[in-house]
Structures are given as C-alpha cells and as structure tokens.
C-alpha cells in the first residue's frame, strides 16, 4: 500500500472515531509520517475527507446496487427485499462504518457536508428507482398488498434506519451484538407480514 492509500485508510478510521475533529497531526501519527508529508499528497484535510467520503459512499452504494441488480426477476419480492435489507445490515456490522456515516452529518464545513450529502442523495435516488421496481413487480405478481408505493418504500427505508440506529448504539457489546441478529430478523418479519398478501 502506498503512502497516499495509507493516509486515506488512516483518515477513514480516525474520522469514524473522532469525526471532523480529526487533525492532520493525528492522521500523520497513525500513518507514521510527519504532517508536511501529507501535504505532498493532498492540499488539505477537507480534500482527504472528501476523497474518503467519495470512496466509502461509492463502495456502499455499489455493493447495494449490485445486490439489487443481481437479483433474478423470477425471485419473489420477499427474497429481493430481504436480501437488500440484510446486505445493508451486514455492511454496517463493522462499528467504524456506521460511525463514519453518522459523522457525515456532523461535518461543520458546510460546503464539504453538502457535497457528501449530495453524493448520498444521488445514489439513494438510483436505489429508490430499483426498489420501486421490486415493489411494483411484487404488486403485479400479487405478492404485495396494493397500497401506496411511496408509503411502502418510506416504511421500508424507515425500518432499515431503525435497525441501523440499533446497530450504532449496541453493536460494540458482544452480548448485545448477538441479540441484534434476532432483532434484525424479527423487525424484517414484522415489516414483511405487514405488506405481504
């Protein structure tokens, strides 16, 4: 791994731990270099954080998008939606990932925060289109109740956010983490029971 990648990896870990308060000296220390060496690769902390954000946001949405796209059109809606949910849950099982994403909203450089939010919004819009297709197909096949498409999608997203909040709060305690798997399954089942025909 070259120094530039080491700086980006260190920044990811520190940002997940300390948020935007991460300093250049902390990044340099974690990599084992001096602060001026960072400036031979990057112009500012914001540039580093922006690159790390771009990489992480891209990685997450690529994984989720690939999972949705891979799903066979012959699969039942239940399988497609559950696979999507559990792909998201699994991705965020690593505590540093969920803390990293949570820290995006706490960036106090407004321009950088807005740039990150815009990346998320653009990717979410693409995912929403794919999810709407799954819901529409499920209704067409008679697998899902005919209700508001938007309402079903919003409830689906709210369920995922609720589970992610539980992961954020409880994931680092081993005895709680083992209960989270059961919690995720029960939450999914309650959601599915509410929308299936």
Q: Give domain status of residue 186, yes or no.
A: yes
- pLDDT category, 171, cuts 50, 70, 90? low
**pLDDT on residue 145:** 86
Q: Which domain holds residue 166?
A: 50-195
Over residues 142-162, the pLDDT tens digits come to 999 877 788 888 999 999 999
> What was the pLDDT predicted at 172?
60
What is the pLDDT, as a whole number, of residue 116? 92
Q: Is residue 74 domain-resident?
A: yes
Higher pLDDT, 121 or 94: 121
Is residue 13 in some structural domain?
no
Total domains in the chain come to 1
Q: Within the chain, where are the H helices?
A: 3-18, 24-31, 35-39, 45-70, 77-91, 95-104, 110-140, 149-170, 174-195
Give me the CATH number covering residue 161: 1.10.357
Query: Does 174 have pLDDT greater than 60?
Result: no
Confirm whether 11 is domain-assigned.
Answer: no
Asked if residue 9 is part of any domain, the answer here is no
| Chain segment 97-141, per-residue pLDDT in tens | 999 999 998 898 999 999 999 999 999 998 998 899 899 989 999
Within-domain flag for 142 = yes
Q: Are 134 and 67 in contact (CB under 8 A)?
A: no
Query: Within a domain: residue 35?
Result: no
Question: Model confidence over 179-189: pLDDT tens digits?
Answer: 888 889 999 99
Residue 131 lies in a domain: yes
């Amino acid at each position: 791994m070259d120094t530039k990648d080491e700086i980006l990896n260190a920044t990811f870990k520190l940002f997940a731990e300390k948020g935007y308060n991460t300093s250049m000296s902390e990044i340099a220390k974690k990599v084992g270099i001096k602060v001026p060496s960072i400036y031979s690769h990057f112009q500012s902390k914001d540039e580093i954080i922006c690159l790390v954000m771009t990489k992480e946001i891209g990685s997450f949405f690529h994984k989720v998008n690939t999972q949705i796209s891979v799903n066979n059109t012959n699969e039942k809606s239940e399988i497609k939606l559950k696979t999507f949910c559990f792909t998201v849950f699994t991705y965020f099982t690593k505590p540093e990932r969920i803390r990293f994403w949570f820290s995006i909203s706490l960036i106090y450089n407004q321009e950088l925060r807005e740039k990150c939010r815009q990346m998320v919004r653009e990717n979410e819009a693409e995912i929403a289109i794919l999810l709407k297709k799954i819901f529409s197909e499920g209704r067409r096949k008679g697998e899902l109740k005919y209700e508001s498409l938007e309402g079903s999608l919003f409830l689906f997203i709210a369920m995922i956010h609720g589970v992610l909040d539980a992961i954020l709060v409880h994931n680092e305690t081993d005895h709680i983490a083992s209960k989270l798997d059961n919690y995720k399954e029960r939450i999914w089942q309650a959601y599915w029971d509410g929308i299936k025909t």
